[in-house]
């Protein structure tokens, strides 16, 4: 799709130092859960245009009325302009792009492994799966330092209660730095956790999204657990 101009509809905090931004969905815009868009902010024509362009996975599901992205709020030039945007202000969108989308063979379970803000494409997948009553087993392993850092965690917990095809396994790696209680898993996503979660599953396909170091580490864990690279799909989140 060519570039189009849309208005910012809403912005909200979805975790500590993490915000979601809701934009208009252009007429005729269609995408698959897991795909990305480029967001180009006001001021892109001044100085280094690349500073005002960023690629984001779409958080919202295709059935929803708006287009939502979410990001960690850092001190980059792009993030400063994004944070300062007012509701009603214009931005440009380009896309959709990407192929991190669910496989079509519904008999094969999908194992989603997310680190931090890498959760965003999976939120879109899970919302749409719930909306469509998708007959596919979905399991999400979601790693964060603390519950405070876990974007969309309450929504994911609710989806797991409502959708019998979806199981959530959230794990925290730095609970000693948290002010919130947590009675779930702790520690990194390792071979032991993956084997425990995936026991008895028939031919699952694995999806990885998060910081490059985490994606690489989890891919190595999967390989040690005898998962073939042909059954692993991944997306690295740079600068999120």
Residue 49 has a pLDDT of 57
Is pLDDT of 229 > 60? yes
* Angle (deg, nearest 10), helices 120-132 and 153-162: 30
- Among 39-48, 49-58, 170-179, name the most confident range: 170-179
User: What is the rounded distance in angstroms from the CA atom of residue 49 to the CA atom of residue 12?
Assistant: 26
Which tens digits make up the pLDDT trace of 140-168?
999 999 999 999 999 999 999 999 999 99
Q: Which CATH class is domain 110-236?
A: alpha beta
* CATH code of the region 4-97: 2.40.30.10
What pLDDT does residue 40 have?
96
The pLDDT confidence band at residue 48, using thresholds 50, 70 and 90, is: low
Residue linked to tokens 């989603």: 112
Tally of CB atoms within 10 A around 191: 15
Please tell me the distance from the alpha carbon of residue 36 to that of residue 96, in angstroms, as a whole number: 5
Q: What is the DSSP letter of 44?
A: T
Residue with tokens 């960690």: 72
State the pLDDT at residue 46: 55
pLDDT at 44: 55
Q: Does pTM top 0.85 for this prediction?
A: yes
Sheet holding 4-15, edge to edge: 53-57, 36-40, 90-97, 4-15, 18-24, 66-72
Q: 147: which 2 tokens?
A: 């519950």
Spans of all domains in the chain: 4-97, 110-236
């Amino acid at each position: 799709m060519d570039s189009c101009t849309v208005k910012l509809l809403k912005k909200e905090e979805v975790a500590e130092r993490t915000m979601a931004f809701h934009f208009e969905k252009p007429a005729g815009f269609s995408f698959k859960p897991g795909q990305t868009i480029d967001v180009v902010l006001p001021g892109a024509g001044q100085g280094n245009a690349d500073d005002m362009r960023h690629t984001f996975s779409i958080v919202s599901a295709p059935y929803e009325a708006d287009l939502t992205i979410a990001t960690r709020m850092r001190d980059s030039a792009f993030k400063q302009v994004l944070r300062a945007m007012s509701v009603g202000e214009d931005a440009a969108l380009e896309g959709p792009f990407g192929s991190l989308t669910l496989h079509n063979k519904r008999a094969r379970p999908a194992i989603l492994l997310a680190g931090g803000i890498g959760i965003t494409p999976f939120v879109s997948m899970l919302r749409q799966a719930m909306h469509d009553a998708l007959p596919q087993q979905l399991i999400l392993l979601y790693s964060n330092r603390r519950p405070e850092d876990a974007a969309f965690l309450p929504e994911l917990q609710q989806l797991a209660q409502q959708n019998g095809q979806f199981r959530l396994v959230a794990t925290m790696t730095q609970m000693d730095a948290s002010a919130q209680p947590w009675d779930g898993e702790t520690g990194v996503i390792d071979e032991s956790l993956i084997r425990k979660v995936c026991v008895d599953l028939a031919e699952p396909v694995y999806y990885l999204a998060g910081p490059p170091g985490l994606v690489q580490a989890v891919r190595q864990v999967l390989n040690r657990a005898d998962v073939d690279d042909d059954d692993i799909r991944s997306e690295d989140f740079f600068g999120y």
